Structure 1
Amino acid sequence: MAPRILVVLTSRAKMNNGAPTGWYLPEFARPYYHLIGPDETKPRAEIVVASPAGGVAPIDEVSVKNFKDPASVKFYETRKNLWEKTAALKEFHGKASEFDAIFYPGGHGPMFDLVDDKDSIKLIEEFYNAGKIVAAVCHGPIAFVNAVVDGKPLLNGRVATGFSNAEEDAIKLTEYMPALLEDEIKRVGGTYVKSDALWKEHVVVDGRIITGQNPNSAQGVGAAIAQALGKFGTF
């Protein structure tokens, strides 16, 4: 049986300053095609998509303009049903046994809703406690910082990455963030690591927790999820 992966997208369409936001195109597109494989008629994995509010999960239009790689273009043009008809997160409570992994693409949207969404936090805790893979890329790891396992933060004592403070400064959005992802990982006792250059691919695997630093790490996160699924005998 093909592994099932629950992909969680943000429902947040605007930042606190009113600027548009959402989830970032390549951070879903690139892992998607890596995980389902080259033959879409016979996918290697089943992808199920959810969001806090359900329905349309807003895509960051900046990402559509900035990323013209074949995977991102194809995904945007042919897979809109995946993000325009998402299920509500609350529908998946108690269903971790039906999945093999949970994955959070980034974009700035998660910084405003998934960071403290109770349904999302509950799912992360359920998935991890059930022995499943939990993965995120770019700003997606913010969803992990408030999850608690065995009485302590999920990332406490773990090595993780995500969008760096320097990268946030580079795109001039630091002052508009409610918190900075790098700082939040450190706050809960995680060891934050990053690449030696801005925008360089960097993927961290710490047991069943997989994190990627930036949009260019998305393909690597997809590969790491696939490898982990194979390790656990489901891919």
Structure 2
Amino acid sequence: MAPKILVVLTSHNKLGNLDKPTGWYLPELAHPYHILRNKADITVASPKGGEAPLDPASIEAAKDDVSVNFLKNDEQVWKNTQKLETFVGKAKDFDAIFYVGGHGPMFDLADNPTSQQLIREFWEAGKIVAAVCHAPAVLYNVKLSDGSLLVAGKEVTAFTNAEEEQMGLSKAVPFLPEDALQKASGGRFVKAAELWGEKVVVQGRLITGQNPASATGVGKAIAKALGIDSGSS
């Protein structure tokens, strides 16, 4: 039977106090979906359910074939999401949970109690927990049943302070993922040697990717962890 993956998208469409739209970032869903779609059963959720807002800037930025084809042919994936809260208590029905980045998750998922409960349930049920770019921010304050932080003592990566600075959006987000995860992990935050470089960190069942360039690698790492890795996409 194909493994089941719960993919989580943001429902948030406005960038802080800037008059700019945001949402989830196209290649960060398109690439992992491309790798996993024929090997896994994928369910997509968001805090509000329904259509999850796609960051228009990511459409401009993502000109690769995988992203373009996904945008053209797979809109049902993000236009008809289920409500996140309906999956509380259902970790046993899935094999992995994967959070897609973009700036949106910083606003409606990073400190979302339902999301934190879900991640705890998935983790404590022995499932894979994965996130890419800004989305690893959802992990920074997830406490396990014993009160410890999920990421404590674990290597983790996410969108870096320098990358945010280069985008000119350091002040637009509630906090910086690198700072929060560096603290929560006990100084175990890692990143690529260069800005925008690919970095995927696998710590057992915890998989994190730094930025859009890491999306394919995260998809492959999830496939490998699920035992559905065919060596290519």
- With structure 2 as the length reference, what TM-score do the two structures score? 0.95
- In the alignment, does 2:212 pair up with 1:215? yes
The within-5 A match list for 1:62-211 is 62-149=57-144, 150-190=146-186, 191-211=188-208
Residue 119 of structure 2: SS of its match in structure 1?
helix
| Offset from partner CA, 1:29-69 (integer Å, 9 cap, x none) | 00001112xxxxxx211110000011110000000111011
For the residues of structure 2 that align with 1:117 and 1:79, how far apart are their CA atoms?
27
| Offset from partner CA, 1:128-181 (integer Å, 9 cap, x none) | 000000000000101111111231111111100000000001111011111000
For the residues of structure 2 that align with 1:63 and 1:198, how far apart are their CA atoms?
18
| Offset from partner CA, 1:64-89 (integer Å, 9 cap, x none) | 11101111001111111111110001
CA separation of 1:44/1:189 partners in 2, compared to 1, >3 Å: closer, same or farther? Answer: closer
Residue 159 of structure 1: SS of its match in structure 2?
coil
Aligned-residue CA RMSD (Å): 1.0
For the residues of structure 1 that align with 2:207 and 2:112, how far apart are their CA atoms?
20
Residue 227 of structure 2: SS of its match in structure 1?
helix
For the residues of structure 1 that align with 2:48 and 2:207, how far apart are their CA atoms?
25
For the residues of structure 2 that align with 1:79 and 1:146, how far apart are their CA atoms?
33
State the one-letter code of the partner of 1:85.
N
State the one-letter code of the partner of 2:191.
K
For the residues of structure 1 that align with 2:107 and 2:121, how far apart are their CA atoms?
22
Using the TM superposition, name which of 2-11 and 146-155 deviates more: 146-155
For the residues of structure 1 that align with 2:25 and 2:68, how far apart are their CA atoms?
13
Alignment partner, residue 13 of structure 1: 13
- In the alignment, does 2:27 pair up with 1:30? no
Shift of 1:187: 2.1
- With structure 1 as the length reference, what TM-score do the two structures score? 0.94
For the residues of structure 2 that align with 1:111 and 1:185, how far apart are their CA atoms?
13
State the one-letter code of the partner of 1:198.
L
For the residues of structure 1 that align with 2:15 and 2:28, how far apart are their CA atoms?
19
Shift of 1:118: 1.3
For the residues of structure 2 that align with 1:224 and 1:7, how far apart are their CA atoms?
15
Identity over aligned residues, as a percent? 55
Residue 28 of structure 2: SS of its match in structure 1?
helix
Residue 57 of structure 1: SS of its match in structure 2?
coil
**Alignment length, in residue pairs?**
225
CA contact (8 A) 2:155 2:185 kept: no
